Amino acid sequence: MGGHAPGRELEDLGASARAGLVRRIEASGAWAADPAWREAFAAVPRHLFVPYYYVAVAGGYERRWGESPDPRARERWIRGAYEDVPLATRLRDGELLSSSSQPSLMADMLTVLDVREGHTVLEIGAGTGYNAALLCHRLGDDKVTSVDLDPEITESARRHLAAAGHHPVVVTGDGARGVPERAPFDRIIATCALNSVPRAWLAQSRPGGRILLPLATGLLALTVTDASHAEGRFLHTPAYFVPLRGTGRAAEPYQLGGVPRRAREDDLFRFLLALTRGSLDPEEALSLWEQEGRPQRERYGITVSGAREWAWLDDPEGPYAWPLPS
């Protein structure tokens, strides 16, 4: 790690902290459907992917750095690297540009991705490279492709991956366009939020492939039929990610004047608002939400069919359906 590299004691602390993180994720049940992911999380050292990160403090952020000359600061850094929390890794003018996702959420997503030996995976949003390293450990470096718009992010991800002994293909480009030269893919996973499903991803998926992406503060798992058709439901898990850049800015939040506070503060109501943006105003959304018993995320889904894309409640052909922006 260069300079003031952590000594053996710090490495032992990292190994102990990593084992503790694995135990916490395992206790959550994240790997019940696919225990093989436990080995990946136990083997891949997260601290190699966050040589520095930022922790929110009063009035701003505190930088934690693995090469700090202060041994107590290095200890705080490595302990923090194995907390089950997202870590801010890139800031610009106070705006979060990139982060290392919460490990337990990553475990949930990778399990739902349902990979098998021999599968090829496209990751949208390289981040620190940690998620790609977990995929490489499970599938092999040659099966993993990661893309990000920011050349600084892709370059640092390559360095972190190399430090951990992995060399997948890391591409600098617009994630919404995929990586056609590496297609077709068995699985596509996005680690950044979108407002709709990029059609290029369907075209670059094998029939029967799976696409997992954050959308409207939820996680959507789509099964691809062919280059023009896919359908799937949301998971129960809430998910908040940095928006995908390169395809337009994120939507502005709703003004919720007149909506009761209990609804304004309810995560499931805000999910419905985000999902039906432009189709329902807050009052209409509130009426539907209460009428249908405050539905959980998994009652909602998305269908992509040719040029059409719509969200729905309970049934793709049912009475509650809303077009999504293309």
- Does 24 share its domain with 157? yes
What pTM was estimated for this model as a whole? 0.92
Q: Is residue 233 part of a domain?
A: yes
Domain stop point among 223, 238, 253: 238
Confidence (pLDDT) at 1: 40
- Does 144 share its domain with 292? no
Confidence (pLDDT) at 10: 86
Confidence (pLDDT) at 104: 95
* Alpha carbons within 13 A on the beta-carbon side of 71: 7
Confidence (pLDDT) at 262: 84
pLDDT tens digits, the chain, 326 residues: what are they? 444 444 788 889 999 999 999 999 999 999 989 999 999 999 999 999 999 999 988 878 889 999 999 999 999 999 999 999 999 998 887 777 788 999 999 999 999 999 999 999 999 999 999 999 999 999 999 999 999 999 999 999 999 999 999 999 999 999 999 999 999 999 999 999 999 999 999 999 999 999 999 999 999 999 999 999 999 999 999 998 888 876 544 455 566 767 888 888 899 999 999 999 889 999 999 999 999 999 999 999 999 999 999 999 999 999 999 998 76
Measured CA to CA, the distance from residue 231 to residue 239 in angstroms comes to 19
101 is catalytic: no
Rounded alpha-carbon distances, angstroms, from residue 43 to 39, 68, 134: 6, 25, 9
Q: Write out the two tokens for 91.
A: 């800031």
Here the CATH number for the domain that contains residue 88 is 3.40.50.150
* Alpha carbons within 13 A on the beta-carbon side of 112: 25
Domain of residue 114 covers 8-238
Pairing, β 144-148 against β 121-124: parallel
- Does 224 share its domain with 265? no
- Does 213 share its domain with 279? no
- Does 143 share its domain with 215? yes
Measured CA to CA, the distance from residue 9 to residue 15 in angstroms comes to 10
Find the catalytic residue in 16, 28, 68, 98.
98
- Does 168 share its domain with 53? yes
Confidence (pLDDT) at 248: 42
Confidence (pLDDT) at 326: 63
> What is the count of structural domains for the chain?
2
- Does 112 share its domain with 43? yes
Question: Is there a contact between 146 and 171 (Cβ–Cβ < 8 Å)?
Answer: yes
